[in-house]
Structure 1
Amino acid sequence: MAALAPPVAAVRTAVRQALRETGGPVLVACSGGADSLALAAATAFVAPRAGLAAGLVTVDHGLQSGSAERASAVAAWAREAGLAPVEVATVEVGGRSGGPEAAAREARYAALLDAAARLGASAILLGHTRDDQAETVLLALARGAGPRGMAGMPPRREVDGVALLRPLLDVSREETRKACAALGLSPWDDPHNADPAYARARVRSTALPALVEALGAGVVDNLARTARLLAADAAALDEIAASALERARRPGDALDVTELERLPDGVRTRVLHAWARERGAPPAALSHRHVAALDALVTAWRGQGAVHLPGGHLVARRGTLLR
């Protein structure tokens, strides 16, 4: 018996560990690229041996010529590999808010979650790798994001009762390519990944290679490790902030300024961020600027007017209460 290629073993091990967190059927999100194709092949091998049903969804964004044919080819391969059910989800990207990357991502996740709900899947497996995580940290750093942004992509996140799992965050992009080669699979290279019009593509082709050249190959691992460390710190601070929010609550959905004043800056701003989201401010539109304005109502009160939050909400200070 031929020895199992180490990259194939690495991907299968990562999938096996992720599937231990699930208790029901799973779906693999697969574009046909090396990362998601290696993930799908590993899932097709591992899931039946773990007693789990595994299907696949490939999303056709309709942004490139031949996208429908590529999606059909991915679906046909998945059926031959033993994945079931298999679906092609065609989405409309135009007309959504944000830039083209954000709009495509929003449409993609909506389609995946819809498929999971219809098919009764407990989890969706996503093919993001360690390299993707390093790129995410660099992009967050460039935007001036705080610890939550630089914590990158979580290995697990619950959305509408469905677990979004990223088994490959400790696997390199190169390993997924080698896994595909060892299995005789031919991945598709999305030209958008090399298009300099997209910030992530510029980081991938220019910024991250420059850092590797200047600081050594370990910089990718170190950036991914930074994300893990910051994620742990952010989770701890969020837990502290949740308790502080409960202590600061007052009748009528108000917050007590005297309670907020006692808090460290990093906890207080988390409390205000969480409270604003509860009041209906859309998370994607709620920025540092909004939270800083809320914080000024607590720490730099000079009788200023109400703070306008996304979604048309107003927050004003009345005595020692924020309403």
Structure 2
Amino acid sequence: MPHPLVDTVAAFSDRHALLDEGPVLVAASGGVDSMTCLSVLRRLDVDVHALHVNYGLRAGADGDEALVRRWCHEQSPAVPLSVVALDAEARAASEDESLQAAARRLRYDALAAAAAEIGAPVVATGHHRDDQAETLLLNLVRGSGPEGVAGMRPARPLEADPSVSLVRPLLDARRDAIEAYAESMGLPWRTDPTNQRHDYDRGVIRTEILPRLEAHFEGATDALARSADLMQEYVDQALRPALKRRMGRAYTDHEAGGALSVEALREAPPVWRRRLLLEALRRALPTAPYSRAVAEELEALVEAQVGRRMEVGTGTVWRERGRLRFVPDAATPDPLSPTPIDWGTPVAIPQGRLRVELCDGRPASLASGPPHLAYADADRLWTALTVRPWAEGDRFRPLGLDGTKLVSDVLTEARVPPHRRTHVSVLCRDDRIAWVVGHRLDHRVRVRPDTDRVARLVLRPREKPSDN
């Protein structure tokens, strides 16, 4: 005979298209929510697999694992189960994050790996309607924007693997209904005492604030969850379409990162300006912190001088001419140590491949050609020839000038975008710059009328030079 909770979950899953064909991996902690999720999905004839994570953080951790193992084994047919042991304390210490954040990251990484192993397009958790009310309250007191007030979504891409959907089939069910189902079905479960601890924000919400609200405002939990539902509708049907239109006009994707038009940011009202900045951050630097405070810091770059930058998470936001450029750290080459140059042998540098070779004779023309080609007096280059990245404070004497100039000034005059300057190398002879590769030759190594041997300096660019 169907149980009311099973009907609730089935209707909610159908309404939000949560359960695709194929196996569903359930995050099984051993608590009443996850055990109910396993049971209900089985009753809906879903091909259920389970993953249990043992952090070893409390005395009952092994008991939780034993309960999940036993229940999965006793089912007919048995529920396939994977168990992983993860060290959240070590992760928290190495990444300088809270124990909760470390455990969460490890858990979702493990879920992504297990889903990939069994080919599951969906990972399910036991979050329910009371959790939704708690999440709304937490996000309110943290000063979240519309997405935070919208609470947890029925489905979203899994952070560790966006090709997998994280779904919450119990999100329309109350905690008391879940516990009633578990008792009626004889489901075993264990209670995690850390869920009630007051040193965790959610524990305070769960044990003190929400019960007080329910005592004074009957149905407060359902009302809060309903508010989250309404805000989700607003976000999906109004905010996101408008944001998409504005991003389409202001944002440009690049092979690495992206860019926002400064003009579009200036024209946008402040509330939209911050939204555009955060959305660009989400797209180009997805692991960066996402908050109003970060948006306000980025906003200051709009009126900053060209060349100013802000490091955000694992990337940098540069103020360039007419735009803010969001560049992941991975797109910045590792510093190149001074590398000896063998004549006639190409050497790899961030810009491409550099070759210094002796010309067979004096070229018919020494007129300036493309920037990746230059001619020099070979005898003035012959000893201790190396290539390295340019550094702040580097000076040389550009061809045709009487005095020296900073390499940084030459790159500024050439309008080299700040994020591309890290790619520029300098060819040196006896530790003195002979060529800012691809840009300017040093006057002292120029070809003179009495030059006997001419060297050709050739850069084969890694890609067509551009402002991307």
* Aligned match for 1:273, one of 271, 278, 297: 278
| Residue in 2 that maps onto 1:310 | 313
2:187 to 185, 188, 204: 185
Displacement, 1:4? Answer: 4.8
The CA deviation string for residues 114-157 of structure 1, in whole angstroms up to 9 with x for no partner, is 11111111111110010001000111011111111121111001
Post-superposition offset of 1:251: 9.0
Q: Does 1:230 align with 2:231?
A: yes
Deviations 1:178-215 (A, max 9, x none): 00000012321111111111111111000111111122
CA contact (8 A) 1:241 1:268 kept: no
Equivalent residue runs for 1:1-323 within 5 Å: 4-7=2-5, 9-11=7-9, 13-14=11-12, 21-47=19-45, 52-81=46-75, 82-94=77-89, 95-96=91-92, 97=95, 98-159=97-158, 160=161, 161-216=163-218, 218-235=219-236, 236-249=238-251, 253-280=258-285, 282-283=287-288, 285-298=289-302, 301=303, 305-316=308-319, 318=321, 320-323=322-325
Contact 2:13 2:169 (C-alpha < 8 Å) held by counterparts: yes
User: Is 250-259 or 173-182 further displaced after alignment?
Assistant: 250-259
> Cα–Cα, structure 1 residues 67 and 316, in superposed 2: closer, same or farther, change >3 Å?
same
CA deviation profile, 1:219-268 (whole Å, cap 9, x unmatched) = 11111112122222223423322332221246974322222233344433
TM-score normalised to structure 2 length: 0.61
Task: Say what the alpha-carbon RMSD is for the aligned residues.
Answer: 2.5
TM-superposed deviation, 1:11:
4.5
Q: Deviations over 1:55-91 (max 9, x none)?
A: 1112212111241232132122023223532111221
The structure that is helix-richer by fraction is: 1
Residues 287 and 314 in structure 2, CA contact (< 8 A), matched pair in contact too = yes
Aligned partner letter, 1:280: L
Taking the aligned partners of 1:13 and 1:279, their CA distance within structure 2 comes to 37
Bigger relative contact order (CA 8 A; separation at least 6): 1
Please list the CA deviations of residues 20-62 of structure 1 after superposition, one character each: whole Å capped at 9, or x if unmatched.
6412111111111111111111112112xxxx42211122121
Contact 1:211 1:219 in 2 (8 A): yes
Indicate the SS of the match to 2:44: helix
3-state SS of the aligned residue for 1:169?
Answer: coil
Deviation of 1:279 (Å): 3.4
Question: Normalized against structure 1, the TM-score is what?
Answer: 0.87
Higher alpha-carbon deviation: 97-106 or 194-203: 97-106
Q: Is the 8 A contact 1:55 1:83 kept in 2?
A: no
Which one has the largest radius of gyration? 2
Contact 2:139 2:148 in 1 (8 A): yes
CA contact 1:54–1:85 (8 Å) conserved in 2 = yes
Provide closer, same or farther for how the CA distance between residues 314 and 254 of structure 1 changes in structure 2, counting only shifts above 3 A.
closer
Q: List runs of 5+ in structure 2 lacking aligned partners.
A: 326-468
CA 58–262 in structure 1, closer or farther in 2 if over 3 Å, else same: same
Letter in 1 for 2:313: P
Aligned to 2:442: none
Name stretches of at least 5 consecutive residues in structure 1 with no aligned partner.
Answer: none
- Paired-residue identity, %: 34
